[in-house]
């Protein structure tokens, strides 16, 4: 993954570059807006992390020009400004996500991955814990063993995987089920399906946690 990091604070940029490289990104650093603009328009990046308070050309202008040039790469805006107006301005200029400084690196990493996932076509395989799930065929294996999933269970698993580490509300589940008209099979409450899926995931190293009053959350078992 090619990532452009436009950040003028040298200490932050240095640490961030190192962390991003460790996380598996190919990082190019731009210390001012002019360089960032030049690099973004010249080379194909997969994603950009853009500070708004850049010297020479400010981040918002870089972002606008980038969008005018019809570059659709996901851009995560990083800024010390966090008022509602700043956010709205950033999102209006074409930012895909917004993170205020100071931040935890895991948070930044998670958001970058989410942006990259969003940009990709809805297909491909997901690997988590000992589970491998193929979105297209809706087949899953846990520790190499194929799992026998009903269409609704597969859908539930897909949803939980997409939102892993976050709460999936019952509302979201019913909405996903309501949208899906391809399979008429399966009745029963969400709780019943969760219960079945839990049992089938026993060997996957994944656990579905019930969040009181809200929904469910997929997490990797501590022991896995």
Partner 1 sequence: MIIKARSLHRQLFIWLLAPQVVLWLAAALFTYKLAERYANEAIDASLSQSSRALARQVKPLDNGLFIDFPRAAQDILEADPSDRVLYTVSTPPGHFILGNRNLPPLPANATAQLGEPFFYDGELSDPAAPQPANTRVRVAALLLNYGAADKPDQTLLVQVARSSTNREELARRILLDTVLPLSGLMLLMTMIVWTGIRAGLAPLALLQARVAGRASNDLTPIQLEAAPPEVRSLALAINTLLSAVHHNIGAQKRFISDAAHQLRTPLAGLKSQTELAMQEAREAVAEPALLARLQRVHDSATRSAHLVNQLLSLARAEPESASQQVLLPLDLLRLAQEVTAELVPRALAAGVDLGLEESDGASFTVRGIPFLLREALINLIDNAIRYAGRGASVTVRVSRAATAGQLLLEVEDNGPGLTDAQLEQMFERFVRAAQDGGGCGLGLPIVREIVERHAGRVSLLHAPGSGLIARITLPEG
Q: Is 88 in the site for partner 1 (CB under 8 A)?
A: no
Instruction: Please count the other Cβ atoms lying within 10 Å of the Cβ belonging to residue 46.
Output: 16
DSSP 171: H
Site string for partner 1, 5-24 (x = CB under 8 A): ----x-xx-xxx-xx--x--
Q: Is 188 in the site for partner 1 (CB under 8 A)?
A: no
- Listed in sequence order, the DSSP H helices in 43-83 are 59-68
CA distance 14 to 5: 10
CA distance 206 to 204: 5
CA distance 172 to 211: 14
Interface residue with partner 1 among 134, 169, 203, 220 (CB under 8 A) is 169
At closest approach, how far in Å is the CB of 177 from partner 1? 19
CB-based contact 115:147 (threshold 8 Å): no
Pick the closer one to partner 1 by CB: 58 or 134: 58
**Which residue shows structure tokens 């988590």?**
128
Pick the closer one to partner 1 by CB: 83 or 185: 83
At closest approach, how far in Å is the CB of 95 from partner 1? 17
Pick the closer one to partner 1 by CB: 118 or 209: 209
Count of residues making up the chain? 224
At closest approach, how far in Å is the CB of 170 from partner 1? 10
Which residues of this protein are in contact with partner 1, per CB under 8 A? 9, 11-12, 14-16, 18-19, 22, 53, 80-84, 100-105, 165-167, 169, 209, 211-215, 217, 219
């Amino acid at each position: 993954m090619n990532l452009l990091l436009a950040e003028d604070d040298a200490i932050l940029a240095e640490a961030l570059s190192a962390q991003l490289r460790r996380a598996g990104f190919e990082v190019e650093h731009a210390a001012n807006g002019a360089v960032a603009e030049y690099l973004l328009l010249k080379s194909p990046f997969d994603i950009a992390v853009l500070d708004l308070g850049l010297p020479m050309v400010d981040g918002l202008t870089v972002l606008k020009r980038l969008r005018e040039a019809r570059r659709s790469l996901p851009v995560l805006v990083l800024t010390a400004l966090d008022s509602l107006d700043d956010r709205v301005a950033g999102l209006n200029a074409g930012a895909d996500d917004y993170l205020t400084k100071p931040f935890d690196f895991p948070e930044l990493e998670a958001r970058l991955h989410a942006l990259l996932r969003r940009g990709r076509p809805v297909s491909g395989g997901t690997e988590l814990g000992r589970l491998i799930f193929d979105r297209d065929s809706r087949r899953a294996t846990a520790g190499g063993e194929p799992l026998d999933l009903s269409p609704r269970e597969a859908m539930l698993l897909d949803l939980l995987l997409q939102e892993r580490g976050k709460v999936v509300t019952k509302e979201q589940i019913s909405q996903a089920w309501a949208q899906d008209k391809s399979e008429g099979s399966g009745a029963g409450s969400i709780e019943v399906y969760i219960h079945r899926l839990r049992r089938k995931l026993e060997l996957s190293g994944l656990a579905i946690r019930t969040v009181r009053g809200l929904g469910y959350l997929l997490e990797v078992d501590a022991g896995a």
